Amino acid sequence: MVRIRKDAQTLTEAERDRFLVALARLNDAGAGPFRAFRDMHTNLSSREAHGGPGFMPWHRSYLLDLERELQAVDPSVALPYWRFDKPAPNIFDPHFLSMPAASPTAGDLVRFPPGHPLEHWSTDSFTGVMRRPNFDVSGAPPTRRAGRAYVLTERETLDLGPTFGQLRSMESAPHGPAHVSFSGFISSIPTAAKDPLFFLLHGNVDRLWAKWQWANRRFDTADPDAFQAGGSLGHRLPDTMWPWNGVTGGGRPPTAPGGPLRDSPVTSLPGPKPTVGAMLDYLGVRSGRDQGFAYDDVPFEAA
């Protein structure tokens, strides 16, 4: 069975609430297994997850691990994505990921109404989420602004080029500007994963990679245009990825939170200690065996 990841803007109330309840259960007011996901994405992990070709495979594995933890709570849940080049006011509605008070002088603490599943969201002994948009959430972050970072549109991203070496510049844009279109947790690597919006943002980054892969038929690890390896650990096709490999020291971070990647009742892929290369063919186009997820606007076929 494949779970379809949908645009968060279009979720039904029931889909939205099931996702939020499962996420809140994982967080458990700061005492739950979400702690490991927060600890995976810090300055210590930056060399593994950022600044090289492993950026997209690492985050694909990270999202899949979280999604499977959510599905252990509620098997119907799939991780939604935030299409950050389009207006998405439903995402910033009080009943979804909400907003801080209107006045900046009131601070950046997001206000969840009483009874909201994330009302007691807590990370690092801090209850709540710090986030304030630098744009009008009835629209989208600016796509072009002279002299400033900007969010590329989907079309601009897909047109970066037909080779992975060209596409990987999306780590700079649109990914980077999407993060800094807010102040607060999500604007900085050490704190970004403390905000649930982070996972929707990266869901869209992964969706864009998936859509590019489909358009250019880039699923084969033997295809030099499907992936351009880097020289450091975690950025080459056969490298197992931290923290799921449990390796610490010797060029890896000093701790490895979370343990092996959770498997799924429907597939054993990509394995408990996924390699960079294992994350390319998530649809099973080459192998005929998928990883249990797909996107609502990317064709799902194994041929």
pLDDT in tens, 233-284: 999 999 999 999 999 999 899 999 999 999 999 999 999 999 999 999 999 9
User: What's the pLDDT score for residue 44?
Assistant: 86
Q: Is the pLDDT of residue 303 over 50?
A: no
User: What's the pLDDT score for residue 148?
Assistant: 52
CB count in 10 Å sphere of residue 2: 15
- CB 128, CB 101: distance < 8 Å: no
Q: Is the pLDDT of residue 1 over 90?
A: no
pLDDT digits (tens, 9 = 90+) for 2-38: 999 999 999 999 999 999 999 999 999 999 999 999 9
Handedness of CA 213, 235, 263, 171 (dihedral sign): negative
**Distance (Å, whole) CA 94 – CA 22:** 18
* Kind of pairing between the strands at 122-123 and 126-127: antiparallel
User: What's the pLDDT score for residue 150?
Assistant: 78
Global model pTM greater than 0.75: yes
By the 10 Å C-beta count (0-12 exposed, 13-18 middle, 19+ buried), 129 is classed as buried
The b-or-e profile of 51-69 (16+ CB within 10 A means b, else e) is: ebbbbbbbbbbbbbbbbbb
Amino acid occupying residue 147: G
| DSSP H or E segment with residue 126 | strand 126-127
What domains can be seen in the chain, in order of their start residue?
3-295 (1.10.1280.10)
Q: Is the pLDDT of residue 139 over 90?
A: no
The average pLDDT across 100-116 equals 93
Closest Cα to residue 282, out of 233, 218, 224? Answer: 218
User: What's the pLDDT score for residue 230?
Assistant: 84
Q: Is the pLDDT of residue 145 over 60?
A: no
The average pLDDT across 45-49 equals 90
Q: Is the pLDDT of residue 120 over 80?
A: yes
The average pLDDT across 68-87 equals 97
CB count in 10 Å sphere of residue 145: 11
**Distance (Å, whole) CA 3 – CA 64:** 11
User: What's the pLDDT score for residue 70?
Assistant: 98
pLDDT digits (tens, 9 = 90+) for 158-201: 999 999 999 999 999 999 999 999 999 999 999 999 999 999 99
